[in-house]
Structure 1
């Protein structure tokens, strides 16, 4: 297991400073993450979508999109083949085959 820290992600382009009584103030705390923890986080995220019934055709594009920061950092760091293998592994683990796309066979 590699014990090197991974870069943190955060919000970009905050348009207004948080006010002292702002209940929605964004608070971020950096947490050291190693490769094994990163991979486990990726598995947990994929499990959520797979168990909710998402198809590969809907799920993989989320990883490609920078608007889904948590998924996109996995895609950038590990690549699409790794992501697709992870999705397949999770489907096997939870006995959730890839749903047939609507209108297709």
Structure 2
């Protein structure tokens, strides 16, 4: 199974970046300023994380007048979650096999 580009680049990995996704408003396309207002970090830090998420294809950025609004790409997040789940299952099987060999040996 081939990993989605977002996972290969580690885009959702750092906790501050995941926090941006968890705190995303259920509707609409927030600005970096509105997201930063909900977190204990600077607007510049939010912009940096959003740029990584955008490059990974997990969010999109669109200029609306003077603002840049960001929107989550649910299909990309779903694909990433499915890939990570399959990877976790693979590791569970491998570790179970190692455990059986160690206990039998």
Same-fold call, TM cutoff 0.5: no
Normalising by the residue count of structure 2, what TM-score does the alignment of the two structures yield? 0.35
Normalising by the residue count of structure 1, what TM-score does the alignment of the two structures yield? 0.35
* Larger of the two Rg values belongs to structure: 2
More strand per residue: 2
